[in-house]
């Protein structure tokens, strides 16, 4: 199952509203277990993992065990239910990790298998699988994406210097981890202040993974983003959405001509309408959202209590008194968040916190 979960990561961020699920078909042979088929939910969400793994296994599936990171589906989509496909393949045993909250499936997938006489084991490494499926599970449970607040801070807890644009804080290894996180996420969001100060691109620039760049979102209700910013200039390659106030319709045209999309969120006097925005993103099929700052935007998401995960990269240098204080530091994480992972990336340290329970 651990191998199936690892395999399921392959299409994270590429399967739309569908979770990236992994399936391994395993035969017990004299000299030990042998993997005869692998599948991961295809880019775009279909085909599902199971039929692909079974295809590869062919006749070898007969009598074998299928390891699935999510309960096999029980509904008819463009293809028959995966539970049915497993049954007709002659699989003898199905080992499942997470259960599927989708009301069309929830419990029915496993029930169909059992009714057909297949041995079913549930909840194997369920927590690890749920961690991998957290965007999907979050969206199903809360009707909003999983929100990951990612910040790079100096050793003295600063995220930059007012008016200085991008200040280097972390090194090359940490930066690659950030790009990998981008590749695995559906969308990334920043405030207009950061967009103006840094002129970032927010794409994934790991070699070979460029096409996995997330949809970029800028909170820009007064449409201040320059038309010649890197974000706008790359809008035809990687989706860019601006959240604009409803009365900005006229101002939208030049952006629209360059391929920029819009989320009209009614802010009603508030600076950012976060709950409405998250709901809109979930409806668009976005399951994981990285929030990358700046301080004002990060604080707004923290105040709304919608941050599910904190990814803090701490560099070794000091910025000093001129620095912008980080809205959250490893010494001061929001109540109810617990350390999940800690790592060292060259000279930098990484701390990941998740919401408890």
Residue numbers annotated as active site:
50
What are the angstrom distances between the C-alpha of 34 and each of 48, 80, 208, 320?
22, 27, 30, 57
> Is residue 77 a contact residue for ligand AOF (CB under 6 A)?
yes
Do 271 and 303 contact (CB within 8 A), yes or no? no
73 is in an annotated binding site: yes
> Residue 172: what are its φ and ψ, rounded to 5°?
-65, -40
* Shortest distance in whole angstroms from residue 18 CB to Zn ion: 9
Question: What's 294's DSSP letter?
Answer: -
82 is in an annotated binding site: yes
Per CB under 6 A, the list member of 45, 214, 315, 327 interacting with ligand AOF is 45
Per CB under 6 A, the list member of 37, 72, 157, 315 interacting with ligand AOF is 72
Question: What does the binding site for Zn ion look like in residue numbers (CB under 5 A)?
Answer: 48, 73, 82
Contacting ligand AOF within 99-138 (CB under 6 A):
100, 102, 105
Pick the closer one to ligand AOF by CB: 70 or 183.
70
Neighbouring C-beta atoms of residue 346, cutoff 10 Å: 13
Helices (H) and strands (E) in the chain, counts: 12, 16
Can you list the alpha helix ranges (DSSP code H) found in 171-245?
Answer: 172-184, 192-198, 230-233
Pick the closer one to ligand AOF by CB: 87 or 265.
87
| CB < 8 Å & 24+ apart, contacts of 300-303 | 300/271, 300/272, 300/274, 301/147, 301/149, 301/274, 302/149, 302/327, 302/328, 302/334
> CA-to-CA distance for 124 and 144, rounded, in angstroms?
27
* Shortest distance in whole angstroms from residue 337 CB to ligand AOF: 28
> CA-to-CA distance for 226 and 196, rounded, in angstroms?
8
Q: Which stretch binds ligand AOF (CB under 6 A): 48-56, 89-97, 221-229, 283-291?
A: 48-56
Per CB under 6 A, the list member of 13, 14, 18, 25 interacting with ligand AOF is 18
152 is in an annotated binding site: yes
Pick the closer one to ligand AOF by CB: 68 or 290.
68
* Shortest distance in whole angstroms from residue 136 CB to ligand AOF: 7
Do 263 and 129 contact (CB within 8 A), yes or no? no
204 is in an annotated binding site: no
Q: Which does 21 bind (CB under 5 to 8 A by kind): Zn ion, ligand AOF, none?
A: ligand AOF
109 is in an annotated binding site: no
> Is residue 194 a contact residue for ligand AOF (CB under 6 A)?
no
> Residue 345: what are its φ and ψ, rounded to 5°?
-115, 95
65 is in an annotated binding site: no
301 is in an annotated binding site: no
What is the distance, to the nearest Å, from the Cα of residue 86 to the centroid of all Cα atoms in its chain?
Answer: 28
* Shortest distance in whole angstroms from residue 87 CB to Zn ion: 13
* Shortest distance in whole angstroms from residue 111 CB to ligand AOF: 14
Pick the closer one to Zn ion by CB: 52 or 329.
52
Pick the closer one to Zn ion by CB: 77 or 347.
77
> CA-to-CA distance for 296 and 191, rounded, in angstroms?
8
Binding-site residues sit at 48, 73, 82, 152, 182, 194, 198, 202, 205, 292, 294-300
Binding-site residues for substrate sit at 182, 202, 205, 292
């Amino acid at each position: 199952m651990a191998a199936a979960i690892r395999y399921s990561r392959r299409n994270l961020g590429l399967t739309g509203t569908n979770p990236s699920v992994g399936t391994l078909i395993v035969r017990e042979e004299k000299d030990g277990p042998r993997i005869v088929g692998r599948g991961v939910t295809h880019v775009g969400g279909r085909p599902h993992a199971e039929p692909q793994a079974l295809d590869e296994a062919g006749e070898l599936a007969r009598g074998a065990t299928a390891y699935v990171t999510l309960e096999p589906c029980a509904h008819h989509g463009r293809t028959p239910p995966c539970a049915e496909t497993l049954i007709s393949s002659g699989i003898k045993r199905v080992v499942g990790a997470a259960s599927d909250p989708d009301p069309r499936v929830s419990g029915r997938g496993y029930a169909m298998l059992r009714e057909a006489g297949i041995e079913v084991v549930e909840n194997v490494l369920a927590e690890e699988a749920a961690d991998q499926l957290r965007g999907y599970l979050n969206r199903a449970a809360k009707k909003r994406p999983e929100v990951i607040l990612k910040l790079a801070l100096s050793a003295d807890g600063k995220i930059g210097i007012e008016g200085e644009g991008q200040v280097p804080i972390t090194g090359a290894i940490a930066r690659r981890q950030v790009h990998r996180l981008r590749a695995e996420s559906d969308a990334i969001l920043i405030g207009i202040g950061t967009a103006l100060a840094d002129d970032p691109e927010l794409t994934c620039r790991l070699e070979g993974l460029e096409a996995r760049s997330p949809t970029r979102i800028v909170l820009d209700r007064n449409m201040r983003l320059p038309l010649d910013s890197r974000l706008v200039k790359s809008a035809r390659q990687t989706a860019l959405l601006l959240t604009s106030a409803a009365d900005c319709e006229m101002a939208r045209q030049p952006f629209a001509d360059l391929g920029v999309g819009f989320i009209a969120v009614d802010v009603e006097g508030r600076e950012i309408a976060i709950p409405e925005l998250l709901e809109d993103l979930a409806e668009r099929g976005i399951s994981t959202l990285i929030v990358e700052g700046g301080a004002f935007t990060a604080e707004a998401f923290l105040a709304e209590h919608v941050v599910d995960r904190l990814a803090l990269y701490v560099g070794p240098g000091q910025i000093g008194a001129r620095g912008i204080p980080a809205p959250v530091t490893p010494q001061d994480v929001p109540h109810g968040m617990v350390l999940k992972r800690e790592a060292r990336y060259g000279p930098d340290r990484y701390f990941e916190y998740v919401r408890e329970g």
